Amino acid sequence: MPTTDLYIKNMVCPRCIKVVTNIFTEQQLDILDIQLGKVTVKGMVTAPQQEKLSGLLQQEGFVLIDDRKQQLIAGIRSIIVQAVHHSELDEMRENFSTLLAGKLQKDYHYLSNLFSETEGTTIEQYIIQQKIERVKELLVYNELSLSEISYKLGYSSVAHLSAQFKKVTGLTPSQFKQLKAPGRIPLDKI
């Protein structure tokens, strides 16, 4: 039985999956698999169906991607967001380059060059930006110590996390925590 993979930009959380699932279900498309950035449906999706989906997704802030290179970029972003925000990095058994190459079935150097050319930043910088946003989130929740956050996000030390945090935000984690209205960036804007 044929299947169709559709790639969707700006899916960054489990709620995004729920919204996209509802859209596909309303359009009577049989979802076989859904994950951040990608939906696999049973059968072929016609051009009119894709056009309708594209409009419905755009109303919710998503973008249906049809360009193969953009699909790879969306895949890279989704894998990184999933790993940083919805997994335990301290339990990750492989580095990001191996993870990306394995999941996308492409050479990491190709993925890295494509990402840099298209996004104007490196994969490594994108990972750092995502990790810093996760640190901000965990600091705001105030449930973990900086040492626990450092361990959870796979930093080698609290000093490394603090230095990286200050370099990106201009603030130390303590200064950030003292702010009344911390400046977090929505994940789909990074």
CATH number of domain containing 31:
3.30.70.100
Res. 188: pLDDT tops 70: no
Helix axes 108-119, 123-141, angle to 10 degrees: 80
Res. 190: pLDDT tops 70: no
The closest alpha carbon to 146, from 126, 125, 175, belongs to 175
Chain segment 117-163, per-residue pLDDT in tens: 999 999 999 999 999 999 999 998 888 999 999 999 989 899 999 99
User: What is the C-alpha separation between 63 and 134, in angstroms, rounded?
Assistant: 24
Distance of CA 126 to the CA centre of its chain: 10
Structural domain for 35, as ranges: 3-66
User: What is the C-alpha separation between 175 and 168, in angstroms, rounded?
Assistant: 13
Q: Is residue 85 part of a domain?
A: no
| Averaged pLDDT score across all residues of the chain | 90
Looking at the structure of the chain, the number of domains it has is 2
Burial bucket for residue 44 (CB in 10 Å: 0-12, 13-18, 19+): exposed
Q: Which residues pair with 31 in a beta bridge?
A: 41
Q: Is residue 117 part of a domain?
A: no
CATH of the domain at 165: 1.10.10.60
